[in-house]
Structure 1
Amino acid sequence: MVQANGLGSLLSAVERLGGFEAQYAQIEKVSAHHGDNWEVLPHGHLKADRPVMSDLTGVIGLKATSEDASVLDALEHATA
């Protein structure tokens, strides 16, 4: 497809993803969170699934696999 349509197929692919400005904004967002500050990135992707995930954690039994239960404590705080 790329060979047949040349640059037009690439441009249409970028347009389907919101255009160049949206792609540049996404690149800037990712670049701003390099290092240990990546937690914000999945927030937008998981926002629609948050109620389902919250319900799921209430149904299944979660258990820490080490002595560090901080994730389970945070989850309990978030669901409260």
Structure 2
Amino acid sequence: MADTEMQKLIDRINELAHKAKDEGLTDIEILERKDLRQKYLKKFRASFKSQVEMMQIFDKSGKEVTPEKVKQVQRDKGLRDD
């Protein structure tokens, strides 16, 4: 999801949060808020997983110490050839 799309989700979630605090939400807005939160979490988790799968870890001496599980995911995706 593009940053602008994610920001639009966050902005709308925040609008509904302020409205809920100030005057309350209609039943439709409560459902919308729930849906928006689920979409946000789904996209956040996918983005975070992708970042973890792309990382490489090195110790102070410069030796790669990336966990084997992450290396295997990278191999499966064609990102590693070792």
- Tell me the TM-score normalised to structure 1 length: 0.28
- Tell me the TM-score normalised to structure 2 length: 0.28
**Higher relative contact order structure (alpha carbons within 8 Å, sequence separation ≥ 6):** 2
